[in-house]
Structure 1
Amino acid sequence: MGMWAVPVAAAVGLALGDKGPVDELVRWVVTAVSATVLVALAHALTQVWSPGWSTAVACVSVLPATWLANRLATQLAYSRGPQQSLRALPLLLAGTTGAEEVGPLVARTVRDALASPASLVRVGPHVLGSSGDTALHLFEVPVLLHRNEVAVLAAAARPGETSLSRRDLDVMAAVAVTAAPALAGARAARAAAEAHHLAATARDRERDRLHADLHDELGPALSGLSLTAAAISSRLATDDTVTASRLVEELRGGIGHTATRVRELAYDLRPTVVEPTQLAPLLKQRLGTGGPPEITLDVEPCDLSLPDHVRPAVVRVVLEAVTNVRRHAEALHCSVHVARVGDEVRVVVDDDGIGPGTAGSGIGLGSIAARTAALHGTSSLRPRPGGGSRLTATFTTGSEG
């Protein structure tokens, strides 16, 4: 009965494509039965030739028999041969219908080819696909395309082994060469999806900000103008021309301020087109309106030229930051510094107001964070040495998305 367990267990292991718990059970059964058979065979042979040594030989043969049985069981339960997996990979990649299928397919191929209990494919910290128990210790091989790393293949050692062999690493390298173009495409698709999500987040935050401006500023401002007009009418009815004249001046000033805010909102609603050498003049023009605090602008160099997709974001972030200062900081002075440092653009907005407080959760700062993240940058708002606030935003000037 024990002898029949070996072919039966091997057949079950070969029939199952998924390397799950059943395969571990099959491997254990094959190992136990095979080791028992080998030890029994050694005992029987020794019993024939030298009966006095049969027990000792049986004991000594346990470890080598178990090792040999484990290797046999691993091959039977897991492996269908690396060459078969490598030959099938190009056809399988050609049959994928989406970039999201590439990572899991390559991970399964690595696992099958190495007879490994686990494998995965990752891009940076992001896992594109995995197979098996990835909590195991994994050995990594980079995936290179035109000498640039586009992904990493990782696989665990087979049960009973502590590391991958040179042959295993060669097989992973062969998988990497075959899968590199497809993985590069999957990586680009993931980056594009992330950029699209960040752009959508920035757009939604911009809409929230415009809604807040219309509701919190223009609504009350127009109501105030209406009340002032009613007061003027009342004063004129009583021939109080002095008070009416004063109210007319207030009404004129209120209309002028409201008109300025409407122009600013209209500017924010249209796409921002900034010519390569017009960044500094445009910022100077846009920051010259809106009242206190006093604004100091410094752009280095003065003819700073940035990529087309970066210039509008810099303008938006600067205007958003200064608007936050005007609304919340109670500052007398505000300085804006824009400079290019290597492949980054850095925007620093300082004010001498009351400090950050709880402004970090505002719509404006959320919009700044989304815009910088969309260009793989960062933003922060912290207390400024000497008092006030300092907002810092950085953008990368690489390719869009």
Structure 2
Amino acid sequence: MVWAQIVVVAVTAPLVVALVHGALRRDRVLPREATATILLAAGTVAVVDPGGTSTTWNGLVNAITLSAAAVLLATFPDGRFVPRWTLWPVALAVAVQMGNVASGFRWDDQSAWWPWHILVTWLVLLLGGQVYRYVRRSGVDERERTRWAVLGFLAQITLFVVMTAVLVGLTGTPDGALGSSLAMILNLLGPTGLAVGLLAPRIVPVDRALHVGIQVSVVGLGVTGCVVLTTALLPEGGNGRATSWAAAAVVALVTLPLAWCGAKVAHRVVYGGRPDPLTTLAALGQLLDRSLDPRAVPVTVLRTLCDSLGLEGARLSGDQVFAAEHGELPRVAGRFGIRFRGEELATFEVAPRPGETTLTEHDRRVVDALARQAGAALDGTRAITELVAARSRVVTAREEERRRLRRDLHDDLVPTLAGLGLDAAAITELLRGRDDAIARVAATLAQGIRDSTRQIREIAYDLRPPVLDDHGLVAAVRDRVASTSGAPRIVIDAPEERIVLSAALESAALRIVQEAVMNVRRHAAAEVCRIRISLERTTLHVTVADDGRGLPVPRREGLGLRSIRERVYELGGSLVIAGAPGQGTSIAVQLPYREAPERAEPRKSGGG
């Protein structure tokens, strides 16, 4: 008994001093004073009357403890009555305890109503108010403090149950000297949890501690209950060895299922159904495996983060390649750097959950783990984006060079050759009848020049359709696609005025429309094919939709769709193919638009 008293004093004395010191600084005065009172009462009982022989003394201590506990339940952890009406059950609880003391503790014997006032005041009103506070009003800091109290009382209840079962099994009673000493120490666990929550809530990560505590409690209480039930069901006076073997068998059978259930319960209670870091990383890995467009990686990472933790929103800032945002970001609760091979690629800016202002330690661990995993993915995204940009520059330069060559051939070389052809024809006429041999040579030269002129025109046409340079993309679509007779009927929805685009963008858009319409004619059996072309800020939108038979299931891409996809990705655009059997098909293309370089007005020549 003495060793237990020493332990109690060693624990309660520094905690009471720290709590009173904080209360004197007017920091959370009510919960600190109430907790100090409970600890002081426990320590005083352990030292003055450990055996509980004085009825008056014990009654007075109980009255003080219960009054302090009522105040604590209504004001923990921030010292405010939340909700405000909890002030009334606290006043009632204190008044009842004062009345009991004034009556000489005779109310303790009123079995008709005395237990009921405790049930209504404590469980329904005060404990209900604490649950309401935790769920609806508490922030991250208040919840961390409350979890310490829960952990303390959970450990106290679990150890009491296990200790009682063990002592009954060994000695037949839990009221011996050992049981009284252990009970004296265990009575401190709940108040100690309250004190830690008020004094140092982040001394260790409370989420991890509570997670482990719930798992251990589920297993401990479950195993103890199964052993007690097994022992009670066995016939009295039976073989003690058989009873031991039966209890051992029950323990072996239930431990693993209880451990699994305990992990599930702990995860649900502590993290509210939110995944741990490994689960979040696994979900991100699966999404990245399914992602076909590397440019979607930043948004995929942000969506995974927000969905996993229930955040209002998140943002990736840094290089323009990684710039992305998901959800709303009314305020930033934390910033986390994303590094890969020593280089900081970007920064996570994370909003808190609705109703909260900061992130928990668990949230920070999840974001840190996700940032480490996202580094490699974002680095890959940057590499692919740079490759696509370089390829787009090459394609753009190629198309601009083709346009220049076509213009030079058509506007310069063709007229020159046409003039030479006229000269050769004139020479033929002048020498006809004078020198027929030279006239025949001149006629052959004129024919050769005409053939060369026709071939150069064909080469120029193959390099780039002239209608693109002369009238633009919409006119080229009308000329090359809509002018064709037969089904389906082509409907073009596009601006009347010319859209000024780069050579690469015009050429790619025209060929995409041609490929899409050709697919409709070959496979869709459609009546109407609608082509929409629009320019919005920095994006050219091209959509080809039909009312035909739709896409087969499973979908197989032919050469036409693959060609469209390659042209889109060459310019860093995006492609969405949608459709279902019997519901038509839609091909939507978005191509990044850049200002077209200055171009010379097409020169009209008489020979062209």
Give me the TM-score of the superposition, normalised by structure 2. Answer: 0.28
Larger radius of gyration: 2
Q: Which has the higher strand share?
A: 1
Q: Which has the higher helix share?
A: 2
